Amino acid sequence: MRDRLILLPGWGLGTAALEPLAASLRALDAKLHVELMPLPELDGSDVPVWLDHLDRTLPTDTWLGGWSLGGMLAAELAARRGDHCCGLVTMGSNASFVARADWPHGMPTDTFNTFLDGCRSHTQVTLKRFKSLCSQGAQAPRSLARLLEVGVPATDPLYLATGLEVLRKLDTRAALSNFGGPQLHLFAGSDALVPVEAAKALFELLQDVEVGIVEDSAHAFLLEHAQALATFIKTFLHESGDD
């Protein structure tokens, strides 16, 4: 259904952070059905198993998208589904969240491993730190951090840790290159978690996709600039044949 967009959230914060964006999209286009789906809660971090779960759970022949980890999973699922995915929309999603030898535009491995250890041993402290990082670079970071507190689900620390392990493993470059449908990738210009260099590198890698940067915005820019992102997405969907 070309009038149906499925969005997956980022790590640790649930679907509530996507609600303002979904509301803005519905207000801009009454014909667009926007659905928010939670991330899997699985006790293992095998990426194909996560994708199998999403493939069973999410409807086919729709647009797929998501924020951060959710966008990375959507990219992998889009590549798996091929012609049965109308197109892909990601927000604040690095091709590889963790830096690699051939992709330096991610978080250093040691930093990520420290964060993962903190998630396992001091879950609430780590989540608080994560919300702060999501807000860093915003015009009003404290207000944005408070917004991120709203509607956060009580998630078992085991599932939070396995989600981070999946995030560490994911490298979506092959999936993005292999998916032939329309793609829109939106990035925050002052993101403390996904460097803006990742947006430029992604455009150089793919070239035939749309990449946009929202200047002076944080990783949680889907809350900070919901209306602007909704306008970007609506325009992209319509230009890609969603009329």
CATH of 4-239, one of 3.40.50.1820, 3.40.50.2000, 3.40.50.1970, 3.30.1960.10: 3.40.50.1820
* Identified catalytic residue from 68, 93, 217, 240: 68
Out of 93, 219, 240, 242, the active site residue is 219
Active site residue 143: no
C-alpha span between 219 and 133 (Å, rounded): 8
State the alpha helices, DSSP H only, in the chain: 19-28, 47-57, 69-81, 109-121, 123-135, 141-148, 157-169, 173-178, 197-206, 221-224, 226-239
Per the annotation, the verdict on 190 as an active-site residue is no
3-state SS of the chain: helix, strand, coil percent to 5? Answer: 50, 15, 35
* The residue to which tokens 């015009």 are assigned: 139
Model confidence at 20: pLDDT above 90: yes
Average pLDDT, the chain: 95
Q: Is 238 a catalytic residue?
A: no
* Residue 56 · residue 80 · CB < 8 Å: no
**Rounded-to-integer distance, Cα 163 and Cα 159, Å:** 6
Domain boundaries defined on the chain: 4-239
* Residue 243 confidence (pLDDT): 41
Tens of pLDDT, residue by residue over 164-215, are 999 999 999 999 999 999 999 999 999 999 999 999 999 999 988 999 999 9
